[in-house]
């Protein structure tokens, strides 16, 4: 059952939640909600981050699908629900939730327990707002 936000659109609610995640720490640089088709629903980023969220979302989803297909060939069954990629001083964190994926770029010095807590809380809130199950 989703929460009721009088006068607010679903897009506004999603954007608000992504902004809340971004603002929870100065070390979180980028956050986006992407569909498993590679469509970026919404994103939020720091002013000093220079990337195209639509291009990044499509690239990450395409890469995950290819990686999953290759893993399935080797392991019979494989599904990626969480992926962490090191990028110089940052980490790219990918967390799937059914047909949706939350992408984050965070500074490596950020406590991983904090990051994973923010991701889980954000996904839980988004699942409730979007009326989908989150396991």
67 falls within a domain: yes
The answer on pLDDT for 127 being more than 50 is: yes
Taking CB atoms within 8 Å and a gap of at least 24, the contacts of 46-52 are 46/22, 49/105
Q: How many domains does the chain have?
A: 1
According to the model, what pLDDT value does residue 132 have? 65
3 falls within a domain: no
What's this model's pTM, rounded to 2 decimal places? 0.77
2 falls within a domain: no
Distance between CA atoms of residues 74 and 85, nearest Å: 21
The answer on pLDDT for 97 being more than 60 is: yes
The answer on pLDDT for 47 being more than 60 is: yes
DSSP reduced 3-state for 34: strand
The answer on pLDDT for 87 being more than 50 is: yes
Distance between CA atoms of residues 18 and 27, nearest Å: 14
Q: β-strand 28-35 against 82-87: which pairing, if any?
A: unpaired
135 falls within a domain: no
Top-confidence residue, 38 or 107: 107
29 falls within a domain: yes
The answer on pLDDT for 7 being more than 60 is: no
Domain span holding position 41: 10-130
């Amino acid at each position: 059952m989703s929460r009721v936000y009088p006068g607010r659109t679903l897009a506004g609610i999603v954007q608000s939640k992504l902004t809340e995640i971004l603002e929870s720490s100065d070390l979180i640089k980028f956050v986006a909600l992407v569909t498993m088709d590679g469509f970026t629903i919404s994103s939020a980023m720091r002013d000093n981050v220079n990337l195209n969220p639509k291009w990044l979302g499509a690239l990450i989803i395409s890469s995950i699908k290819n990686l999953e297909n290759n893993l399935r060939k080797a392991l019979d069954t494989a599904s990626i629900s969480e992926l962490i990629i090191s990028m110089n001083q940052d980490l790219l964190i990918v967390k799937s939730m059914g047909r949706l994926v939350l992408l984050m770029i965070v500074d490596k010095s950020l406590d991983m327990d904090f990051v994973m807590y923010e991701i889980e809380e954000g996904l839980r809130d988004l699942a409730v707002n979007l009326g989908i199950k989150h396991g």
